[in-house]
Chain A
Amino acid sequence: MTTNELKQILADGAWRQNTGLVVLLGLCPLLAVTNTLVNGLALGLATMLTLMVSNLSVSILRGLLKPEIRIPAFVLIIASVVTVIELLMHAYFYDLYRILGIFIPLIVTNCAIIGRAEAFASRNSPLPSLVDGFATGLGFCITLVLLGALRELTGRGTLLAGADTLVGEWGRHLTLTIIPEHPGFLLAMLPPGAFFGLALLIAARNAWQARRPAQAANTLLLDSHET
């Protein structure tokens, strides 16, 4: 595995095959928890951790996994990893756990995770699989953070509200009031705002991509192959 190949994996996961913006997997948590930046970041990090651990375990066990049992085995591995993360959050990030609630166990159902296990980790050795998990998780996390920031800013005029649930008491001072006396824009905070926000992000990414013709064609090809 050369550094170049690893770089390639990173770029694929985080940008070219971005789970949220290109492959469009795992949209349920993506849309549901991104009403603030901090919530998005927290679920993004949890998902990233899940992806890394599940990719690594699947890759290590890949020699043993016969095709006919690989899917149930993936599900077992992913469910175990997610439940461990849930228990740890419940114990050590209690406030955050209360906010994210059901969406932590629902990470199991994020098809991006089983997708990476099947498409990548079951065919590659542990290191690239770990990097792939990290890259895919990073891409997902960045999308969640961007969407969270966008909705929080338009919805309540702040950024980083509720940071104390992630980092403890001192996080209260992190909240930035960007637009003082913001009257509150409910649409952005409710689920429809998530759809609008995601649409804007996807459009922005496509517009950016369209300005680089050679690579755009390449991406399109990969997309149709992947989905």
Chain B
Amino acid sequence: MNNPSHPVLRSGVLLGLIALLGTGLLAGVNELTHERILEQEKNRVLQQLNAIVPLASYNNNLLEDVIEIEDEVFFHHPESLTVYRARMDGRPVAVLMNVLATDGYNGDIRLLAGIDSSGVVLGVRVLSHRETPGLGDPIDIEKSDWILGFTHRSLLNTQTKDWAVKRDGGQFDQFTGATISPRAVVNAVHNTLLYFAANQQLLFETMPEREGRDDH
């Protein structure tokens, strides 16, 4: 067994060498692409955020001015949510909250909701969902403009009873054959506004003051 030319040993070493070669290749390519992949991911998040809060309306580094919140009373689920804070010269402009609607038709609907400092919705977008194609998926901006119906809404201009789809006596359209998906989104946005109203102070609370944005 100790003979180095034993066929099993030889095969093992050979396999090891191939594994080493593969690993080396992967490590090299990973090194080459790592930076760019991170940048791509960052750009994508920024793109989503800027679709709601225009680039010109804030001057802090959105991606770094972030807090995590969790509140089961308002959101009915225990997950922590990311909140991006937009500021102009340190003055609060808007928050962008990652929101989760857990009562969709099929799994969680991930939303990004932008609310300005006066409590008015700047815009809402669906980040990911698994609603039925053709029925529930018009909540996605790629499929229909429905989600734009939240823009400019606030707790002041839309009563609590109106935060519902029309079938439930509210002001928001449902889709043909699909009420559950839009209902879930409407509820999630409403809850977010309620949370914002109750926690506005906390949401904008600054960590140690940052200098203006350091990229773009």
**Which A residues contact B (CB, under 8 angstroms)?**
61, 64-66, 68-69, 72-73, 76-77, 79-80, 83-84, 87-88, 90-92, 94, 184, 186, 189-190
Residue of B14, B32, B44 touching A94 (CB-CB under 8 A): B44
Residue of A61, A80, A90 touching B25 (CB-CB under 8 A): A80
Tell me the total A-B contact number using a CB cutoff of 8 A: 57
Q: A66-B14, A69-B11, A72-B15 are in contact. Are A92 and B26 (CB under 8 A)?
A: no
The residue in A80, A186, A189 that gathers the most chain B C-beta atoms within 10 A of its C-beta is: A80
Q: Across the two chains, which residue of chain B brings its CB closest to A72?
A: B15
A77 CA to B15 CA, complexed, in Å: 10
**Chain B contact residue count (CB 8 A cutoff):** 22
A83 CA to B117 CA, complexed, in Å: 45
Q: Is B36 an interface residue (CB 8 A)?
A: yes
A61 CA to B33 CA, complexed, in Å: 27
Q: Is B7 an interface residue (CB 8 A)?
A: yes
**Residues of A contacting B14 in the complex (Cβ-Cβ under 8 angstroms):** 64-66, 69, 73
A92 CA to B19 CA, complexed, in Å: 26
**Residues of A contacting B36 in the complex (Cβ-Cβ under 8 angstroms):** 91-92
B179 CB to closest chain A CB (Å) equals 19
A84 CA to B37 CA, complexed, in Å: 13
B133 CB to closest chain A CB (Å) equals 6
A73 CB to closest chain B CB (Å) equals 5
Q: Do B33 and A68 touch across chains, with their CB atoms under 8 A apart?
A: no
B6 CB to closest chain A CB (Å) equals 12
Q: Do B15 and A69 touch across chains, with their CB atoms under 8 A apart?
A: yes
> Mask for B1-39, Cβ within 8 A of A = 1, else 0?
000000100110011001101110110011011001100
Residue of B11, B18, B19, B37 touching A90 (CB-CB under 8 A): B37
Q: Do B25 and A68 touch across chains, with their CB atoms under 8 A apart?
A: no
Q: A64-B14, A66-B7, A73-B15 are in contact. Are A84 and B26 (CB under 8 A)?
A: yes
Residue of A73, A90, A189 touching B33 (CB-CB under 8 A): A90
B53 CB to closest chain A CB (Å) equals 22
A175 CB to closest chain B CB (Å) equals 14
For the complex with contacts A83-B29, A88-B29, A90-B37, 12 further pairs of A-B residues with Cβ separation under 8 Å are A65-B14, A66-B7, A66-B10, A69-B14, A69-B15, A77-B22, A79-B22, A80-B21, A84-B26, A87-B33, A90-B33, A186-B133
A182 CA to B134 CA, complexed, in Å: 14
Q: Do A91 and B33 touch across chains, with their CB atoms under 8 A apart?
A: yes
Q: Do A76 and B22 touch across chains, with their CB atoms under 8 A apart?
A: yes
Q: Do A190 and B18 touch across chains, with their CB atoms under 8 A apart?
A: no
Residue of A76, A84, A186, A189 touching B18 (CB-CB under 8 A): A76
11 pairs, CB–CB < 8 Å, chain A vs chain B: A61-B18, A64-B14, A66-B10, A69-B14, A73-B15, A80-B26, A83-B29, A84-B26, A87-B26, A87-B37, A190-B133
**Residues of B contacting A66 in the complex (Cβ-Cβ under 8 angstroms):** 7, 10-11, 14
A-B residue pairs, 3 tightest by C-beta? A80-B22, A91-B33, A91-B36
**Residues of B contacting A77 in the complex (Cβ-Cβ under 8 angstroms):** 18, 22
**Residues of B contacting A68 in the complex (Cβ-Cβ under 8 angstroms):** 11
Q: A66-B7, A80-B25 are in contact. Are A90 and B40 (CB under 8 A)?
A: yes
Q: Do A87 and B30 touch across chains, with their CB atoms under 8 A apart?
A: yes
Q: A87-B29, A87-B37, A94-B40 are in contact. Are A76 and B133 (CB under 8 A)?
A: no
Residue of A65, A79, A84, A94 touching B29 (CB-CB under 8 A): A84
Q: Across the two chains, which residue of chain B brings its CB closest to A74?
A: B18
Q: Do A189 and B26 touch across chains, with their CB atoms under 8 A apart?
A: no
